[in-house]
Amino acid sequence: MRLWVNCFLAILSISFLAAAPANDVSIPSVGESIDVSIVNVDVVVTDKSGKRVRGLTRADFEVLQDGKAQPISNFAEYGSEAGDATASITTAEQPRVSAAPHQQRTMVVFVDRFTLRPFDREPLFASVRKMLHEIVRPGDAVMIVSWRNRVVTRMPFTDDLAQIDRTLAQIERESTFASPDAMQSIEDERAWLKQVSAFAEEQGFTIDLSEEIPVSGLEAAMRARIEMRDKVRTINALMSAMSGLEGKKVLMLMTHRFSRIVGQEFLIGRDAGPHPRNKHELEHDMLPEIQSVVKTANANGVTIYPFYPEGLGNENMPNSAHTNGATGSFDLMVLNNELEAMSIVAEQTGGVLGWGSKNIVSVLPAVTDDFGTYYSLAYRASGTGDEKARNLVVRVKDRSLKVRARRSFVEKSNETKMKDRVLASLMHDPDPRAIDFDVTFGKPTREAKHRYRLPVLVKVPMGQLMTLPQLGEQTGGFSVYVGWGGVLGELSDVRHETRSFTLERGQEGRTMHLTYEFELLMDEKTDRVAVGVVDEVTGEFGVRRIDLPTRTEMLAEK
């Protein structure tokens, strides 16, 4: 397995130029405030035959949050054969306007490693290209990433259809009918075993050679578990990075394995039919990870369309993990394992799922319609930023009609919002800064082969931060958030630290800075760093992205 090594953030020190640190002092607040969020929900309405229903008004809809009806503050209908918004929009302040404005579309196409025969592969990719040609307009943004034990950004955000076609064509050529497991080198296998061993120790158990399941099966299942854990973290980071974007946001998840019981195919024999889940299967239940994908999607207004292209009867599994022969019951078990996870994600985020090339080809026109014919509702929600998911139900008064929309609203904490801003700045230009600050780098030192330690200094002018009187002194506080990205499109977790400070008497009017120092342990693929600073008194913030020079360039500097 060729994994990009995540950078490790080591906080070394925080110092104040002409200001005294006071980490044991509480940070004062300007007063309590109640955040009011506008919760937007895109809604698809169909009749009994599955046809889109047009011409509904705000009065036809009901929105309930945790069972309580919510007044609809904004309403718009989008729809035409060309995907233009030509219907109506009504708001509390503006009763009626002739046309709704275009919504920008943002889509991430996540293509897992999978292998298809030509008669399945060619119509599938042709249909995906056709769908994108029908929905992408100037100003929209499509990004394509692929996954082979790590994420690789194959195409950054663009509305260039020719570039989209070229990228998908390359991925299509890579999706040939050959087992990816057979292609792994001995070095890859050794790396996997190290990961498996470390992960097993973290979970507090070891592989028992006396188990009924062959060791190779347990190792393969553990490997699948590690990979899905990493895949989920990457998917969540990609969706979090879309948090600040307006308009319709979609993740097309074309997956090789996104399972409820990850590695289940390795934990039982090919002759197994329906059965109670054994202890190994229960240990590999990924429901918490699946639910985290749902929560992240709904927190950021992202609709997920999960697809399992290999479908029923895939033969690309290592024979060492199975008994002789393949049975229909086994293939069905594998498919149902995937569909159980995918259906949770699709139903809870307002998307639709598809499996097998033929079925996905038949489903994609409905995805195209979702971009062109839908209703957009909004209501005002107040809360405390407790990260709790609120149950969300959208229905129409005509109960014979079917409604598809996301099922929850997640109220983000200020900390999560700031982490999302930092992640977003690694993928596109950050928003204008309310707080300005400087970031400088020292000379990197080699830590190990292909790994370097880079000193980073964040310098915040005191005039950018507010202080309040407390215990006879002026007291304030700020937080620093740091994330980083790699040349292949990797996104790190975002680390942060909060500190308070006090000003001594007579310092209030002087020109001063607060400095925050840390070291970034990085490899040669790390090419950008994002830093965010938050004034903990006012909540104002700023984010900067710094593109790094190559290690050779930095080592050559004085």
pLDDT at 556: 60
Tens-digit pLDDT profile for the chain (558 aa)?
Answer: 222 223 333 333 334 343 444 444 577 776 555 566 789 999 999 999 889 999 999 999 999 999 999 999 999 998 754 334 433 444 444 444 444 567 789 999 999 988 888 889 999 999 999 999 999 999 999 999 999 888 888 999 999 999 999 999 999 988 875 544 434 444 455 555 565 566 566 655 554 444 455 557 777 888 889 899 999 999 999 999 898 788 899 999 999 889 999 888 887 754 455 566 667 788 889 999 999 999 999 999 999 999 999 988 544 444 333 333 444 677 788 899 999 999 999 999 999 999 999 999 999 999 999 998 999 999 998 766 678 889 999 999 999 999 999 999 988 888 999 999 999 998 888 777 789 999 998 888 888 777 888 899 999 998 899 888 887 788 889 999 999 988 778 888 899 999 888 877 655 555 678 888 888 888 778 888 999 999 999 999 999 999 887 655 655 654
pLDDT at 179: 45
SS3 328: helix
Q: Which residues pair with 378 in a beta bridge?
A: 40, 74
**Sign of dihedral through CA atoms 441, 444, 450, 451?**
negative
Q: Which residues pair with 518 in a beta bridge?
A: 11, 456
User: Which residues, 6 or more positions from 181, have their beta carbon under 8 angstroms from its beta carbon?
Assistant: 316, 317, 318
Hey, what are 507's tokens?
């310092």
Which backbone phi and psi does 517 adopt, to 5 degrees?
Answer: -120, 140
* Sheet of strand 374-383, all strands in order from the earlier edge strand to the far edge: 89-91, 74-78, 374-383, 35-46, 402-404
pLDDT at 214: 55
CA distance 72 to 89: 12
pLDDT at 196: 55
CA distance 306 to 112: 11
Hey, what are 164's tokens?
């989209």
Hey, what are 293's tokens?
């994908």
Q: What is the pTM of this model?
A: 0.80
pLDDT at 449: 76
Among candidate residues 348, 149, 337, 286, the one with its CA nearest the CA of residue 231: 149
CA distance 309 to 365: 16
User: Which residues, 6 or more positions from 311, have their beta carbon under 8 angstroms from its beta carbon?
Assistant: 335, 355, 356, 357, 358, 359
Contact 350, 366 (CB under 8 A): no
Among candidate residues 108, 135, 132, the one with its CA nearest the CA of residue 254: 108
Hey, what are 254's tokens?
């074309």
pLDDT at 201: 63
CA distance 280 to 213: 9
Q: Which residues pair with 45 in a beta bridge?
A: 403
Q: Are strands 20-21 and 495-503 parallel, antiparallel or unpaired?
A: antiparallel
CA distance 336 to 347: 16
Contact 480, 458 (CB under 8 A): yes
Residue with structure tokens 């310092």?
507
Q: Are strands 354-355 and 302-308 parallel, antiparallel or unpaired?
A: parallel
